[in-house]
Structure 1
Amino acid sequence: MSRAALVVIDVQESFRRRPSWAYASNPDIVGRVDRLVAAARGRGDLVVWVLHAEPGTGGVFDPANGHVRLIEGLSPAPGEPTLVKTSHNAFTTTNLEQVLTTAGVREITVCGIRTEQCVETTARVGCDLGYEVTFVTDATVTFPTPHRDLPATATAEEMLADPRTLSSEEMTARTEYALAGRFATIRTVAELTGAPPAGARA
């Protein structure tokens, strides 16, 4: 029987150092991911941690600045690999596929930051590589996204006031529409853990 794996993508301090974190769709992402991790460990699934790095850039993703680390409250257990990527998806610039193959994994569940960027791209590539992919939308984070023509110098207030800006809810919905039935099965934290996500109302 093949194993399954939970791949936790970019739930790192880098994002919390950006002003945009004030508009994060799931600021309680740590609690949600922690529930998925506990459930995966309880089933004997592999948990793989992925961090994003941009060496030499001087920004929040530059490892030299110390923010390329898991957000406090999350930590790998002994034997759980932590991979560092420099591409959007978790496969291209890491040995993730080798890790999964060695462990006999054919099913992956993905969560993390950002919904439509690194997590969605990983889901798409994983599907193309032959994995059965589950996408846990409510254990991902995204942000309001400006139109491509909005000047880079625009303030957060200007971005949010622009009618062309897509809300976090719209970004999330677009990702689900793109993935479902093509690249991944959409599931929730509650469905995968048998308990409501942290912060959810009863």
Structure 2
Amino acid sequence: KQIFAQLKEKGKVVRGWIGVSIQNITPEMAEAFKLKDTKGALVGDVVPESPAETGGVQRGDVIVAFDGRPVKDASDLPRIVAETPLKKTVTVRVIRESQEVEVKVTVAEMDEGKAASRKQRRVPEQDFGMSVDEITPRWAQEFSLRDKTGVVIVEVIPDGPAHEANLQPGDVIKEIARKPVRNLKDYRAILEKMQRSKSVLLFVSRGGQTFYASLRAQ
């Protein structure tokens, strides 16, 4: 009925939008975020000046309910938001730092128009099946990077932990275990203090979008 009404009124189907990038939660991520289970949609990025940002949704939040409807995984949320009437202000329930928090978000209309050899530098005591480097002018040009801080992945070994976590050359690691990574020195220092067998939560930037990835050293 809603779709028919939209076609009659506007001549097109209008879908709701709140401005978040989300992903499913793996068991490793649930452990890193101290979650009870893997239910919900993990917010990897929030669009500036979007309804989500205005309403108080933050990166790292786990959305578990939207307008009273449960969000079991990342595939649920886009469908629920799309079915929500435009300009409706809804309650969004999230888990933040192990606590349940409720925020108010007003649904907006989705804008369809937006939508050489590499030197290997391995970190001692860790092997994630990838090589990283500082963000030099060379890498910035080769990968069209806008990031000024972090470390860039310059090589991913097939079938290694990084490859299995869907990381790829050109990705920029911004955080490790919720700690900021400004450069290669930070990257090395953080990993050297971590246990080898422990899974590691990364916060990654790719093409203007950000997301979380978890991997375990070989």
Is TM > 0.5 for Structure 1 vs Structure 2? no
| Superposition TM-score, scaled by structure 1 size | 0.26
User: TM-score, with normalisation over the residues of structure 2?
Assistant: 0.24
| Bigger RCO (CA 8 Å, 6+ sep) | 1
More helix by share: 1
Bigger share in strand = 2
The structure with the larger Rg is 2
